[in-house]
Amino acid sequence: MTEVKVKTGEELNGLGAMLKEIMDTNLKDSKNYKNVEKLKGSVVIRESTSGVAVTLHLNQGKLELQNDAIAKPTAYMEAGFENLAHISSGQINPIVAMLTGRLKSRGNLLLLLKISKILVLK
Amino acid sequence: MAILFGSQEWVDALKKVLETSQPYKEAAKKWEGDLYIIVEPDASYKNRHVLYLDLWHGECREARVITDENEKSPKYRIFGPFTNMKQILDKKVDPVQSMMTGRIKVKGDMAQIMKMPRAAVELVNCMTGFETVFPD
């Protein structure tokens, strides 16, 4: 079973721990893993109220989370806790969230869309 | 009158606030699951407190101090060091920020929390809905 790894020597912040749990749950389904196994890049996810961020690194089947935002990610997304929760629980479609400004994003939006397969609980 | 944190009176007061809070009832109307609030000792406080809340569809069915942590197997465990918990109850730090930074940790079914994030926020708001005094 594929799991999201944590950068060596780090203990994930609360945001990272939550996202890891969601992604690990989704990755138990091999169909979800297939959707991301060929992806390459890095995505910064930030909770806007607290400013807390994590970076998800994708490298052809290997997924790793680290605390904080890296300088030049492939894609970036940011939302408040409640909106992040609503997106992760599937109550708000990520595209609708982007279009309505509840989710701010930049960079490679296609990558964001693809990783939503593992960031959104079914 | 301020109520001593960690006492049965404190969880009784919290139960009363949960039962009368409309924002909590509204946010937690689909909430199913009991929880432990675990206050861990740190440099400023040497004791450990475990408080139990049985929350069900906006109601608080049971609230009490737990002496044997193995007594229940709650769906959620919210835990953190005394100083961090105190800062939240004193309204010095935002509970969401504490959760995001990992100063307060939550273990359990994250899917439900993600579906009802406001319920978690309103639960904490209820904890600050009465005056608390902390043990020395």
Q: Give the residue extent of every domain in chain A.
A: 5-119
B110, B112, B124, best to mutate vs chain A, most A CBs in 10 Å = B110
Tell me, what's the ipTM?
A: 0.84
Express each pLDDT in A47-61 by its tens digit: 999 999 999 999 989
Express each pLDDT in A66-82 by its tens digit: 999 999 999 999 999 99
Contact A50 B115 (CB under 8 A): no
Give the HSE-up count for residue A65: Cα atoms under 13 Å, Cβ half-sphere.
Answer: 24
Report the residue from B101, B105, B115 with minimal CB separation from A89.
Answer: B115
The label of the residue with tokens 């309204």 reads B91
Say which CATH architecture domain A5-119 belongs to.
2-Layer Sandwich (3.30)
- pLDDT band for position A122 (cuts 50, 70, 90): confident
Domains of chain B by range and CATH? Answer: 3-128 (3.30.1050.10)
Contact A51, A83 (CB under 8 A): no
pLDDT at position B135, please?
A: 85
Q: Is the pTM of this model over 0.90?
A: no
Q: Is the CB of residue B21 less than 8 Å away from at least one CB of chain A?
A: no
pLDDT at position B62, please?
A: 97
The label of the residue with tokens 């297939």 reads A34
Name the residue in chain A with its Cα closest to that of B99.
Answer: A14
Q: How many CB pairs under 8 A join A and B?
A: 60
Q: Is the CB of residue A82 less than 8 Å away from at least one CB of chain B?
A: yes
pLDDT at position B66, please?
A: 97
Query: In degrees to the nearest 10, what's the CA dihedral of B125, B102, B39, B69?
Result: 110
What is the mean pLDDT, run by run of 10 residues, along chain B of 136 residues? Answer: 94 97 96 96 94 97 96 96 94 91 91 89 93 88
Q: Is the CB of residue B96 less than 8 Å away from at least one CB of chain A?
A: yes
